[in-house]
Structures are given as C-alpha cells and as structure tokens.
Amino acid sequence: MISNKTNKIKAAITAVGGYIPEDFISNRDLEKMVDTNDDWITARTGIKKRRILKEKGKATSFLAANAAKDLLNKKKTDPKTIDLVIVATITPDYHGASTAPTVASEINATNAYAFDVNAACSGFLYGMSTATSYIESGRYKKILLIGADMMSSIVDYTDRSTSILFGDGAGAVLVEPSANNFGWEDEYLRSDGVGAQWLKVKSGGSLYPTSKESLDNRWHYITQDGKTVFKSAVSEMANAAEQIIKRNNLNPEEIKYLLPHQANKRIIDATAEKINLDKNKVLMNIEEYGNTTAATIPLLMYDYEKEFKEGDKLILAAFGAGLTWGAAYLTWAYN
C-alpha cells in the first residue's frame, strides 16, 4: 500500500481520457432553429459550437465507455485491475438502472463494481470526493471516475435559453494512491435544495411521472431561470474557491490554473475576477464543446493534460442543478 510521509494514503489522479462526438451544432446552425444569432450567443456565453451524439442506439454509456477506453489505452492499464467505476451523469441510459455497470461491462472491468452519481454540473467534484475517500481508506487502489452527459437528449431545440448552452461529451480520470505525495488536497462541497426549481427537468421522476400532460407541456426537457442561476453560480463558485484558497493559505501567484465548470464564459470570467486570478490561468474549452455538464472539468484535464506538471497547484470549481456547487484543491501528480 502506497502512503505519503505522514503514513496517510493520499489519492491522486494518475491518468485522464476523453471522448467528444464528431458531429456538432454551430451557432450558425442554431440561427436556423431559434430566434438567435452567432454574435449574441458568443457574447452571452462564449460558445461557438456544441458536440452532439447523433448515432442511433448510442447514449451516455457510449460516451463514457469511449472516454474510459481512451484512458486505459494511454495508461496501458488492464481493465480487470479496476476496483470501482463511478459515472457522474444526469442523463443515464435508463431511469432505474445505473449507467456505470453498463460502462464497466463495456470496457471489460469485470472485477469492479459500479454506480452513478447525480449532482449535475458538480458531479465530477462529488465523484472525486467519493473516489478519494475510498482510496484514502485503503479499501481500493484503482478507481475509474467518468463525467459523462448526453445533454442533447434533454435539450429542447425550440428553447433559445437552453438550446445554445449544452453539448455531449465525456471525460475520465484514474484515481489511485499517490506515489509522490501529490494529489487531492482539499474540497469544499455544498448544496441547497431550495434552488431545485431554478434548473431542472420537471417530468420523468416520481413527482411528475411521464404522462400525456408532461409530454404536451414539454416537461421532459431541461429548463432554467437563467438570471437567478447566473447570479448564484458566480456567487457560489467564487465563494467555494475562496474558501479553498484561504483554508490552504494559497495566494494567486501559487495557483497554476483554475479549472472551472464550463457553463458560461461570463460566469467563468466573473469567478476568476472575484478570486483575483489572472485570466491566463483560467482554462476554457467552452467555445468548442459548450456545457457538457459533469464532463466539463475532466474534459479540461483531457485537453490541457500536456500543460500540467508534477506539483502544479490547481483549483477546480463547479455549480449545477440541485442546487449543487463546490471547489477543490489538487496538486498534479505526474508529467
């Protein structure tokens, strides 16, 4: 069992993988679908295109499995050595059956058990908290955490307020005991059910089961109170990041990068400004992918992996439906 200098096991991300569909909907495409235009979308969100999984018979498990396979191939890891597979998602293949077991079977992780985490855009952070706890306990040594969402399955493409935002994708990380004392340092996670009404899919759950009424009213699509969500996201993401920075006696100069949830460029910019972080330290890929919900932070790791060096101090921050939010402090564990 690998442990650090204090004989306490520290969890570390030791590999990343990702998968993005080839098909996409551009802002120009959306101009033909709803009353909007490229300039307005770009100015309001920073998004130029959002990737869409169009293949029939493919769902979130397909995205997640491909991200996992990418990681396993790069890391040259035998899937049979994986102890646990966690999938963070709000778009499972089925209600009543977790997507993670499907993914574990697809990648041949036959010795792992698997389950889903539903915390919307904060799902990756919640999943990392769970994976880290298992590693630190000494119970497991290899955990595969995947953030994956097929948001196109719940987006109403006649609704200008949501159709411009969301895309499909998946990012995966391998969590193992740290070999060099770098890894998951601290986390600050919160939730508030009072705000559940502000960002949700109304039907399909036990409160409003799918019915003719729900279909006629289009309750099976995601809706949001945009202004309220925006204000809360800026406030809570920044506050969570500030709590992490203060608790760990960090200053902006020490922080290598901020990896924020990719919901909206204005939210990201406002969060960075509130914690006095130089814009060059803020990572973004929202222009190409849109908001992929639980996949945004691991996809940032996937896209920028070559920029990270062993020991780099990273701050992660997210805000999502539920309401859920939080931040974390991670020291990168490999070159």
Which positions are annotated as active-site residues? Answer: 121, 261, 291
Q: How far apart are CA 253 and CA 261, in angstroms?
A: 21
Residue given tokens 């960002």 in the structure block? 199
Q: Concatenated DSSP letters for 122-155?
A: GHHHHHHHHHHHHHHHTS-S-EEEEEEEEGGGT-
In the chain, count H helices and then E strands.
Answer: 11, 13
List the one residue out of 121, 165, 128 whose CA is nearest residue 294: 121
Which residue type is seen at 182?
Answer: F
Which residue type is seen at 105?
Answer: S
Which residue type is seen at 38?
Answer: D
List the one residue out of 124, 15, 3 whose CA is nearest residue 69: 15
- Angle at the Cα of 24 (from 197 to 94), degrees rounded to 5? 50
Beta bridge partners of 282: 258
For 135-236, where are the E strands, in sequence order?
Answer: 143-150, 168-177, 184-191, 199-201, 222-224
What are the residues whose beta carbons fall under 8 Å from the beta carbon of 279, sequence distance 6 or more? Answer: 269, 272
